[in-house]
Structure 1
Amino acid sequence: MPTSEHSTITPGLLREWPLRTGTTDKKDRGTVLVVGGSRSTPGAVLLAGVAALRAGAGRLQLAVTDSTAAALSIAVPEAAVIGLPETASGSVAGDAPKRLLDLAADADAVAIGPGLDDIDETAALLGAVLDILRPDAGLVLDAYALGALSRDPELLDGRPQRVVLTPNVTEAGYLLGRPDSVGSGDDLAAVATAVARRCSAVVTLYGTIAAPDGRVWSEESGDAGLGTSGSGDVLAGVIAGLLARGADPDQAACWGTWAHAVSGQRLAPRHGRTGFLARELLDEVAYTLGTV
């Protein structure tokens, strides 16, 4: 494992930090559970879930609003899909049903947040899932799950799970308690490190990865095209898939951030720097990981 204080992510660094390969048994490659969506945003869960499979996870489970579960099960036939109670406005309700908690208790990695759109309901849901996770489980918090965490930044203190946070700069500001003072022009290494220390978790922020102990990595090949709708859902899913395979959180964040960026690079010659779609990243992830 790299131990220098600040490193640049390169194929050479990743080769010296190899991922666990696993066996032909899908259970050995890990189970990912993605919890998210709303009546209007089930696609976020699709993107994160398929990304987890492309990253090498063996099994996929998706938990979304009741009204979208059937459609999503058809769109992602590789996944087991369950419906969750929803509010009158179509958000996932915070009252976690037993079936969800049973899945979370057995999952090797859980991603919470893609497509969620109600912070109060998300906070209740997050609390219930955190209390049921296995000590060795991986956990990715994205989008509204990060908003819920910003209300209680010490929520993860003392928890043994392998946690990665995937904020944008606005979410990073909220996590630091100063939402109006963090921008893309800031020292992202300093911001990511501050979030990592405050939340006791590994953070990946626009190509900068920080661990709570002060180690920092930079992925320098990401480009403007990654700033497209759904791109963050893909990143969260890739990291969840790597965690399910047994990667440590810093390793999963570094490999996942690199694979996300290089997948975008591979699409740019065909679609231009800013013309590719998040769903097109999915078909590049497995090849990109396999070329290291």
Structure 2
Amino acid sequence: MPNRSEPKVITPALLRNWALPVPTGGKETRGTVLVVGGSRVTPGAVLLAGVAALRAGAGVLQLAAAESTAAALSIQVPEALVVGLPETRDGAVAGGRAERLDELVAEADVVTVGPGLHDIDETRAVLHRVLDTAGPRTALVLDAYALGALSHEPDLLTRTDRTAVLTPNLTEARHLLGRDPGDDLDAEATELAERYRAVVSLYGHVASPDGRRWREESGDAGLGTSGSGDVRAGLLAGLLSRGADPEQAACWAAFAHAVSGQRLVPRYGRIGFLARELLDEIPQVLATV
């Protein structure tokens, strides 16, 4: 078992001493983020994650979602390449028939899987396709139903030496753990990181498989709103794309997510702001640490 450190509180001072990479040159130097997700009834999750990745500094954004939503997404996110994927009768992405995904995955620097997916069997097929096609240096961010799919095959990530970050909420943590999480989320994040050999960001509690741990303490109840997790997953992907290591990206993303919410409180109160309103706050939070 790795030696577990005491969790460090994520503060501006800690982050200033752990500065994010600042790529120079064109958009290619800030990497390509591919978000795979969405369904006929949940296309907004892909939009939120994708725009968050751009706000965090990704150079190129690609969205792969259910084909019935592709036209609307391309209008809503004109900065992105949008590819429609085959879907099932009920509007879920049909992972087994998503051959168009292979080329996108092979060319991406970071692949985020999960936002808006809703069929567990098809999500498993998507996840297998991504893992089979991604290059050895491609980073993965697994969120939402992708975590449920992973819980059915816990050795999927441990078979490879691949950079991966898991972003569960408490329900998804329950599936990954096989039991209800306890009150000590530092310990639960640590167990997940060791079990899945991935960096884990669980409600601001970040753990690395080597035993290092961090905790973001400024998040408030307002972040518990629909779509907020999609923003966090995309934010993390954008930071990975511009060159942050997984632990660094997870810590910076937890902080930027929380502080973006704080910045909205004077306008909307502690509860009532929307996930999409977090997006415009991200660049300023990252710039003023």
Same-fold call, TM cutoff 0.5: yes
Tell me the residue number matched to 1:20.
21
1:182 corresponding residue in structure 2: 181
Q: Could you give the per-residue CA deviations for residues 262-281 of structure 1, whole angstroms, max 9, x where no partner exists?
A: 00000011100011100000
Separation in 2, partners of 1:282, 1:147: 26
Q: Select 1:225's aligned residue among 222, 225, 250.
A: 222
Structure 1 residues 193 and 207: CA distance shift in structure 2, 3 A:
same
Partner of 2:285: 288
Deviation at 1:69, TM superposition (A): 0.2
1:80-135 deviations in Å (ceiling 9; x for gaps) = 00000000000111125332110101101010000000000000110111111111
Pair 1:10 & 2:7 matched: no
Does the residue aligned with 1:149 lie in a helix, a strand or coil?
helix
* CA deviation after TM superposition for structure 1 residue 5, in Å: 3.8
Note if contact 2:5-2:211 (Cα within 8 Å) is conserved in structure 1.
no
Kindly provide the amino acid, as one letter, of the partner of residue 230 in structure 2.
D
How far does residue 58 in structure 1 lie from its aligned partner after superposition?
A: 0.3
SS of the aligned residue for 2:30 comes to coil
8 Å contact kept, 1:120–1:148: yes
Question: In the alignment, what sits opposite 1:73?
Answer: 74
Q: Distance in 1 between matches of 2:264 and 2:214?
A: 24
Q: 1:235 matched to which residue of 2?
A: 232
State the SS of the aligned residue for 2:164. strand
Q: Deviations over 1:236-283 (max 9, x none)?
A: 000000111111111110001110000000001110001110000000
Spell out the pairing of 1:58-207 with structure 2 (5 A cutoff). 58-178=59-179, 181-182=180-181, 186-207=183-204
In 2, the alpha carbon distance for the partners of 1:103 and 1:93 equals 16
**Aligned residue type for 2:283:** A
Distance 1:160 1:238 in 2: 23
TM-score by length of 1: 0.96
Letter in 2 for 1:239: L
Q: Over residues 194-245 of structure 1, what are the superposed CA-to-partner deviations in whole Å (9 max), with x where a residue is unaligned?
A: 1111111000011100111111100000000000000000000000001111
Amino acid at match of 1:69: A
Aligned 8 A contact 1:140 1:163 in 2? yes
Q: Distance in 2 between matches of 1:96 and 1:255?
A: 36
Structure 1 counterpart of 2:53: 52
Measure how far apart 1:159 and its partner are: 2.2
| 2:267 partner letter | R
| CA distance, structure 2, for counterparts of residue 158 and residue 150 of structure 1 | 14
1-side partners of 2:176 and 2:145: how far apart?
12
Unaligned 5+ residue runs, structure 2? none
**CA distance, structure 2, for counterparts of residue 24 and residue 215 of structure 1:** 33
Give the counterpart letter for 1:43 in structure 2: G
Q: Secondary structure at the match of 2:112?
A: strand
Paired with 2:60 and 2:169, the residues of 1 have a C-alpha distance of 28
Paired residues of 2:85 and 2:100 also in contact (CA < 8 A)? no
Q: What TM-score does the superposition give when structure 2 sets the normalisation length?
A: 0.97
> 2:37 is matched with which residue?
36
Equivalences, count: 286
SS of equivalent to 1:111: strand
Once residues 36 and 18 of structure 1 are traced to their aligned partners in structure 2, the CA distance between those partners, rounded to angstroms, is 30
Q: Deviations over 1:33-52 (max 9, x none)?
A: 00000000000000000000
CA distance in 2, matches of 1:243, 1:224: 26
Decide whether the 8 Å contact of 1:38 with 1:64 is kept in 2: yes
The answer to whether the 8 Å contact 2:38/2:115 transfers is yes
Output the CA distance in 2 between the equivalents of 1:99 and 1:197: 33
Instruction: Give the Cα–Cα distance (whole angstroms) in 1 for the partners of residues 154 and 97 of structure 2.
Output: 22
Q: Tell me which amino acid in the other structure corresponds to 1:67.
A: S
Which structure 2 residues correspond to residues 260-275 of structure 1 after superposition, within 5 A? 260-275=257-272
Q: What amino acid sits opposite 1:83 in the alignment?
A: G
Q: Which residue of 2 aligns with 1:244?
A: 241
Q: Percent identical across equivalent pairs?
A: 68
SS in structure 2 of the partner of residue 83 of structure 1:
strand
Q: Distance in 1 between matches of 2:14 and 2:133?
A: 35
